[in-house]
Structure 1
Amino acid sequence: MAPCVAVVWWAFPENLPLWRSIAIVAAWAGSGLLVANIVLMVREPHVARLLGGLESMYRWHHRSGMLAYLLLLCHPLALALDGWIEAPRFAWLSLAPWTQSWPQWLGWGALLLLMFGLATTFAARLPYRRWRFFHFALGLGVLLGLAHVYALLGGANIILLLIVATALAMGWRLIAGDLGVAAHPYRVAQVAHQPGEMIEVLLVPHASALAVSPGQFVLVAFGDGPHYRGCGEYHPFTVSGIEADGGLRLGIKALGPCSQRIQNLEPDVLAHLQGPFGIFLNDAPSRPQLWVAGGIGITPFMAALRAQHRIQPTTLIYLFRGADDAAFLDELYALANTDPQFELLADATGKGLPDFTGLLARVSQITNRDVNICGPMPMVDALMPHLRQLGVASDAIHFERFDFR
């Protein structure tokens, strides 16, 4: 945010009417936020680690996009208010595109594309591939908006630099991210079916292996096989196991059209991986641990448990609807029997919410533990008040929101 504040301070004009000054500052601040928004869209592991993880980047991507749109919406409105002070008809003329020249048309086109792109952002039921295509309208809107400023300023070098930076960021995201030019090739070595419409896939590297830690996830695009057709797009899956030879195990539950198709995956299918991403379970535990997993949320904990015995007392609360929905349950019981530092509390919740009061009462010294949660957000939201009521500090509670829209 500091660069944005610096741009606003630099851009604030002198000896101009108030509303015209506000319009200019809103345009500069909105343009700066849009460029930052595009940079945050880049799906590069090194950049993600530098900025606190991909989940944090996407959260700020959404926030900066919304704020930029509001600021840019204020730009023509402030110009209209400036004209209104002189005469009402001047306010209308400042808002009527057909009375203006082509640089202003670029600005209106940018605003319309941003409006369209943001509208599709909130269309939760839109298929992912179509949503992603429409979302690129935001990027085109950014380029149009910068071209609008460039034309009005008569070719300012700083705007040209921002246009080039935006185009490079969009190109890198499209070529390296969506098309997967920089992805690592792997091969499906094994597909094991788990309870609850879930499979665990073992992938072995064809070239250099990704350096993955327990708790991280990768973006995977599966190719075609003799009897399998891939989705043709990248989806995030959490690593459930890391092999000594660089192989990765992924837990994949049928939650959408693509993951439903992946349930029919077969060996020898080629896969392309990007990553790794995520900072969940990233720190070496310095205190006793409480892990809470719901459904497919068990996968990062499986990777950690399979990697080594616990160095701190660790209690895992594993929540599932029924025995036919409890992936890895037998292995978890076996791990609990062989690791004296690991305690398993497995609970079949049915279709209702878990009895968090009773479950947490079975956890000793809960206020002295770090709490790591992975599961559906309704489960996380229901658990948080119970933890706070028991006195667990906010900075001791860790979870990630895996929302890629």
Structure 2
Amino acid sequence: MTTTTRVATPVRTAATRRPAPTRRLSGALTGLWVGSLAVVAFWWFGTSSAVGYTPGGALMSVGELAGLLASFLVCAQLLLVARVPWFERSVGFDRLVSWHRSLGTTVVLLVLTHVLLMIIGGALLDSTSLWSEVPSVLARQPYLWLALIGTVLFFVVGLSSARLARRALSYELWFGLHLTIYVGIFLAFFHQVAGGTHFVADRLAQAAWIALYSATAAAILTWRVALPLLDHRRNALRVSQVVREGRDLASVWLTGASLDRLDARGGQYFLVRFLTRGHLGTAHPYSLSMVPTADSMRFTVGALGDHSGAVEALRPGTRVQVEGPFGRFTADRASTHKVLLVAGGAGVGPVRALAEELLRRGHELVVVHRAHTADGLALAAEFTPSPWLRYVPVPGRRAELRYDPLAPAHLRRLVPDIAERDVFICGPDPMIDAVVRSARALGVPPTAIHREELG
């Protein structure tokens, strides 16, 4: 049996106050703007001034610009979630995913603009109706059939990612639809290179566009396919045991080899895929609940859905594939010697791992553990009180307690010196929002508040 480690004694003695860590300036947004401006310049200098003499020509030219921008931004969108280490370290995976979603909406709107302006502009130039223009163009330029199929795939993926549709679709169906975007991107790329006004007669432009798409594909194949498979082979991760920790919480212990090479830190998470029936088609983000050793790691999972609710049924020996680590909910963000950790629900996992690493660095901790019931205080026994750690369990619903223990007055009673501390919070979104409001009201600066949302 694997034995649990306890958060108790730091490796070194108390440290002096640290300056706030210098945040790495991300070049991702700058790259997006510079790349977009380069596309606009390429369109501007490659467009004849004669196209503006007629409304139809002007509309089609603007439509071509929309198509070029959509093609560039879809490559950027894919790079944001290609697990490129530089992007993840400088920006954070959660923010990259948020940018990926926002760019997805922008790309779909640009594709729609491109299609409509090309049809309307062509109809004006050909002096025909909109309904007649589409079959006429498809008959004259058969390769546009591929572009039409690609456009349909873009819209299907875009609609499937809308909030209402996402809630109605299973993860497996949504993910399968999402994969078809690669087909749509290839078809759109092919029609641009084969018939795009700015590419047909310009070999240099063709080479640059092919290089852009090739580099994007290489990044995806390298960091999302090849390296994870190599890590899976080297680490040989398997489930060693599953331990029920409390109401709707279970810890999954994994054993493997060379896990220290993953360079994972307390508070980070992995995308975890259990290679067994019912789990094979999904990879879900689970946070570490201990700092990994060379041969073991642990995730404490809350039963928040079908996938996470089924982890208790995993059998020892089940092979596991992980991608990561991801996340910036880590000890190096603490700017002071004193730290307050607030955990709720499954948030106790990353808080437990983060506490372990903070203690090793010499920080003095207070851990406030919120739960609806006493049996929901999972991993409580691992927060062993010491001169460097004070554990404060707060079980009970607000209706039963008749007060909100996370309101400013009560939080100050629990942690009188909260204004002198960095505050790390992990748990359900409403709890996080309540702690952030209280911490701000009690004088904690925004730069000293760090949150990890389990949603």
Q: Please report the TM-score for the alignment, with normalisation by the length of structure 1.
A: 0.85
Instruction: Give CA deviations for 1:240-263 in whole Å, capped at 9, x if unaligned.
Output: 112544421211222222222210
Partner of 1:315: 366
How much does 1:101 deviate?
A: 2.0
- 1:221 paired residue number: 273
3-state secondary structure, aligned to 1:113 = helix
Counterpart Cα distance in 2 of 1:398 and 1:93: 58
Q: Give the conservation status (yes or no) of the 8 Å contact 2:88–2:96.
A: no
Contact 2:259/2:293 (CA < 8 Å) preserved in 1?
no
Question: In structure 1, how many angstroms separate the alpha carbons of the residues matched to 2:193 and 2:419?
Answer: 56
Alignment partners' CA distance in 2, 1:132 and 1:28: 26
Q: 1:110 to 1:217 in 2, by over 3 A?
A: same
Structure with higher RCO (Cα < 8 A, 6+ apart): 2
Deviation at 1:51, TM superposition (A): 4.1
- Within a 5 Å distance, the mapping from 1:327-366 to structure 2 comes to 327-332=378-383, 335=384, 337-338=385-386, 340-350=387-397, 354-357=404-407, 358-362=409-413, 363-366=415-418
Contact residue 237 and residue 257 of structure 2 kept, 8 A: yes
Q: Please give the TM-score of this superposition, normalised by the length of structure 2.
A: 0.77
1:104 maps to what in 2?
Answer: 144
2:101 aligned with 1:49, yes or no?
no
> Which residue in 2 is equivalent to 1:9?
41
Deviation at residue 364 of structure 1 after TM alignment = 2.7
| Structure 2: tracts of 5 or more residues without a match | 1-31, 53-57
With 205-214 and 144-153 compared, the bigger mean Cα shift is at 205-214
Deviations 1:349-380 (A, max 9, x none): 43879542144332334344322221122333
Q: Contact 1:237–1:250 at 8 Å: present in 2 too?
A: yes
Q: How does 1:242-261 map to 2 (within 5 A)?
A: 242-261=291-310
> Partners in 2 of 1:351 and 1:103 — Cα distance?
64
Gap change, CA 1:181 and 1:311, over 3 Å in 2: closer
Report how far residue 149 of structure 1 moved. 0.7
How far apart in 1 are the matches of 2:223 and 2:146? 24
Instruction: Specify whether residues 65 and 401 from structure 1 end up closer, same or farther in structure 2 by C-alpha distance, changes over 3 A only.
Output: farther
Q: Distance in 1 between matches of 2:257 and 2:343?
A: 32
Residue 238 of structure 1: CA displacement? 0.8
1:110-145 alpha-carbon deviations (Å, 9 max, x no partner):
221111011222312322222211111222211111
1:27 pairs with one of 57, 63, 67: 67
- Separation in 1, partners of 2:440, 2:124: 53
Structure 1: distance between partners of 2:278 and 2:209: 41
Q: Which amino acid aligns with 2:390?
A: E
Alignment of 1:213-292 (within 5 A): 213-224=265-276, 229=277, 231-232=279-280, 233-283=282-332, 285-287=334-336, 288-292=338-342
Asked whether the 8 Å contact 1:290–1:314 carries over to 2, the reply is: yes
Higher-Rg member (1/2): 2
- Is the partner of 1:316 in helix, strand or coil? strand
Relative distance call for 1:211 and 1:144 in structure 2 (3 A) is same
Unaligned runs of 5+ in 1: none
Shift of 1:102: 2.3
Residue deviations 1:174-217 (CA, integer Å, cap 9, x gap): 6348x845423223333322011222222222355422111111
Between 185-194 and 166-175, the greater mean CA deviation after superposition: 166-175
Q: C-alpha separation between the residues in 2 aligned to 1:371 and 1:43? A: 28
Rounded Cα–Cα distance in structure 1 between residues aligned with 2:426 and 2:134: 49
1:147 equivalent in alignment to 2:190: yes
| 2:247 equivalent in structure 1 | 196
Do the aligned residues in 2 keep the contact of 1:310 with 1:341 (CA within 8 Å)?
A: no
Tell me if structure 2 keeps the 8 A contact 1:114–1:138: yes
Name which of 196, 207, 211 aligns with 1:161: 211
Distance 1:377 1:277 in 2: 19
The answer as to whether partners of 1:143 and 1:167 remain within 8 angstroms in 2 is no
- Seen in structure 2, the aligned counterparts of structure 1 residues 119 and 325 have a Cα distance that, compared at 3 Å, is same
The amino acid of 1:197's aligned partner reads D
* C-alpha RMSD of matched pairs (Å): 2.9
Counterparts of 1:310 and 1:163, CA distance in 2 = 44
Q: Which residue of 2 aligns with 1:205?
A: 256
Describe the SS at the equivalent of 1:255: coil
Tell me the secondary structure at the aligned position of residue 300 of structure 1: helix
| Residues in 2 aligned to 1:71 and 1:243: alpha-carbon distance in whole angstroms | 45
The Cα of 1:235 is off from its aligned counterpart by 2.2
1:117 — aligned with what?
Answer: 157
CA distance in 2, matches of 1:151, 1:351: 65
How far residue 70 of structure 1 moved from its aligned partner, in angstroms, is: 1.1
Give the AA of the match of 1:325.
Answer: G
Deviation at 1:218, TM superposition (A): 1.7
